[in-house]
Amino acid sequence: MTSTTIAQTDFKARQLTFERVRTAYKEKWSALKAELATAGIMGAFNLYIAAYKNESRLELWVKDTDKKQYQLFKVYSFCASSGTLGPKLKEGDLQTPEGFYHIHAFNPKSNFFLSLRVNYPNGVDRLRSGKEKPGGDIYIHGSCVTVGCIPLTDNKIKEVYVLATEAKNAGQQQIPIHIFPFKMSTANLNEQLLRFPQQKNLWETLRVGYDYFEKNKLVPTVTELNGKYIIK
């Protein structure tokens, strides 16, 4: 066993030292493994998370580590929301961010049972916030309260947390979380830009990433340059 494999296996072992993670595995992992097998996923897998604010919808996509394309595996509804469409601009504005992110940290002792921290603010967010403090502490979490996070209920976060743990333990170094204002069809984009014309530049950029995944079922490569997303 290589040192890299040992380090990956150690991640799950460390998580299982926490009671809430053990509870989540006890309650959810057996059924999730059966569902993964039905979907053709028999071993290690990668995870991609897409969130849609207007639809209050969180999608979990999975793929075998040796395959290219993702397939939709689970869909969850947000159980609460705050703010409106448009990105988070500053601390305390109650907004849920919009952009291309990844899981920054696993929190097995969250105030909201279990939680996955989003790497907000990134460089694009910080530039957009200007002189304002952009805020932080954005999570996908349990419970049903929020001031900008994505709450799912304790029951649902158990499944998401277990799947994310398995993906990371299998070697996925970065689990992407892309947060969109809505399902970014042409019709939806045109309709919402009538209400929020100031979001045109951001939303058209997010649309590029959205379209890439919709067409290819592959996560686009996203980098940042001078406060803007570069999508390939």
Catalytic residues: 141, 149
Q: How many CB atoms lie within 10 A of CB 10?
A: 11
Structure tokens at 197: 């014309």
Rounded Cα distance between 150 and 47, Å, is: 18
Distance of CA 158 to the CA centre of its chain: 15
The 10 Å CB-count burial string (b at 16+, else e) for 42-73 is eeebbbbbbbbbebebbbbbbbbeeeeebeeb
The single-letter DSSP state of residue 221 is P
Structure tokens at 38: 């039905």
Judge whether 202 and 181 are in contact, CB under 8 Å.
no
Rounded Cα distance between 201 and 213, Å, is: 19
Rounded Cα distance between 65 and 77, Å, is: 27
Rounded Cα distance between 181 and 139, Å, is: 17
